[in-house]
Every structure is written in structure tokens, then in C-alpha cells.
């Protein structure tokens, strides 16, 4: 619906807070009723989520400590896009950084928005196949534990609600048709 893209008119923009990870952006906006409002949202460069499949056909999950919720969550490798590196380069870099992984093939799956009323964070999802693991190089603040599980088990974990990181759970669901097609091929 391209004609609606500028339905609300941006009158002004300030950044209330800026960092290398994201900004807090506040816009003055003329909305469809003609009224002027203030809209404040998280301005994010976007992130890639990668579902890694090993040559043996298993999925690599990571358990990571998330300070904002003070919990350990099951996730897939992911991270913010860095400047203008491009989505595929970001996906390969995060695979290497988080699990020391290198993929034979990277397939683009799709995108979604993480929390579209309060953030412009866009998530692009890749399926990585033929992933061989090396030694990950996590950032100092990252606590990561790795677990390799059969495809069916990873999908069952998502279905049982055990993957509480919503972005990782949805990335797995979006890859499900490809994963199941792959398993069916392998069985032939």
C-alpha cells in the first residue's frame, strides 16, 4: 500500500539519546486527523537472525543471558547489521562471532518487525546450511552456551513455548517449511 506510506507527515525529528546500538528518536508528526502529536520510538539499524543447520542436519541453538529480563534464553545466532555491510555479510559475521560457524550456503527466508509500535527494528531471517562450528568469539558481555539438536526437536521446542526469545522462535517457524522439505529430501 505504497500510497499510504506517508500518511502521517514528519514535521521534525530529535534524538533524545544516541548510542552505537540504537537511538531514542522523537518525532513531531501530523497524523491523518490533522492533529499534531509526538511519537517516540527506538531507532535501530536492523538485525539478522540465522538458523544454522549442520552437515548432519541438526540445528545449533545458543543459550544466552539477557540482562533486561535477567534470564537465560534459547536463541539462534543473531546480531545488528553493522553500517552498510549488507544483510548476508552481517549473517556470516554473526555466525562466525557467536558460534564460530561457517556456512556452505546462506538462504534468505524473509523479514518481520520485532515491535512495530515502539521500534523500527526489522529482523531479516536466513537459513544457513552446511554449518561447521569452530571456536566462537563472543563479545565480553555475551554469555553463551551451545546445544546441537535435531531439526524436529528444535521445532518442538518452539512449539512447546520453550524458545522464549520471540525473534528466534519466529525465525525457526519461518524456516520450518524449508527445514521439513530438506529432511524429506534427505530421507529419499
Residues at the interface with a copy of itself (CB under 8 A): 1, 4-8, 16-17, 19, 21-22, 24, 27, 29, 31-33, 35, 37, 39-42, 44, 65-73, 109-123, 140-141, 143, 158-159, 161, 163-167, 169-170, 173-174, 176-177
Residue 181, all three cell numbers: 522439505
Contact 79, 101 (CB under 8 A): no
Query: What sign for the dihedral angle of Cα 183, 90, 79, 41?
Result: negative
Q: Which is nearer to a copy of itself, 80 or 102 (CB)?
A: 80
Q: Where are the alpha helices (DSSP H) in 52-159?
A: 87-99, 151-159
Residues in the chain: 188
Number of Cβ atoms within 10 Å of the Cβ of 24: 14
Q: Which is nearer to a copy of itself, 78 or 95 (CB)?
A: 78
- What's the min distance (Å) between Cβ of 55 and a copy of itself? 27
Q: Which is nearer to a copy of itself, 106 or 170 (CB)?
A: 170
Phi, psi (deg, nearest 5) at residue 91: -65, -45
- What's the min distance (Å) between Cβ of 52 and a copy of itself? 19
- What's the min distance (Å) between Cβ of 45 and a copy of itself? 12
Residue 31, all three cell numbers: 497524523
Q: Which is nearer to a copy of itself, 71 or 104 (CB)?
A: 71
- What's the min distance (Å) between Cβ of 173 and a copy of itself? 5
- What's the min distance (Å) between Cβ of 47 and a copy of itself? 9
Strands 78-80 and 71-75: unpaired
Q: Which is nearer to a copy of itself, 37 or 104 (CB)?
A: 37
- Can you tell me the distance from the alpha carbon of 181 to that of 171, in angstroms, rounded to the nearest whole number? 16
Amino acid at each position: 500500500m505504497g500510497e499510504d506510506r506517508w500518511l502521517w507527515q514528519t514535521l521534525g525529528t530529535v534524538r533524545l539519546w544516541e548510542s552505537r546500538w540504537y537511538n531514542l528518536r522523537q518525532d513531531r508528526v501530523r497524523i491523518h486527523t490533522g492533529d499534531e502529536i509526538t511519537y517516540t520510538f527506538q531507532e535501530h539499524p536492523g538485525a539478522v537472525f540465522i538458523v544454522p543447520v549442520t552437515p548432519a542436519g541438526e540445528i545449533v541453538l545458543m543459550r544466552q543471558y539477557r540482562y533486561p529480563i535477567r534470564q537465560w534464553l534459547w536463541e539462534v545466532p543473531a546480531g545488528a547489521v553493522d553500517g552498510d555491510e549488507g544483510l548476508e555479510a552481517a549473517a556470516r559475521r554473526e555466525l562466525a562471532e557467536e558460534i564460530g560457524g561457517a556456512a556452505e550456503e546462506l538462504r534468505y527466508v524473509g523479514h518481520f518487525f520485532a515491535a512495530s509500535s515502539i521500534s523500527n527494528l526489522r529482523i531479516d531471517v536466513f537459513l544457513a546450511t552446511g554449518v561447521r562450528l569452530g571456536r566462537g568469539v563472543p563479545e565480553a558481555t555475551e554469555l553463551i552456551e551451545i546445544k546441537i539438536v535435531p531439526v524436529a526437536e528444535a521445532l518442538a521446542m518452539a512449539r512447546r513455548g520453550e524458545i522464549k526469545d520471540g525473534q528466534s522462535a519466529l525465525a525457526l517457524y519461518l524456516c520450518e517449511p524449508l527445514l521439513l522439505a530438506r529432511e524429506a529430501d534427505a530421507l529419499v
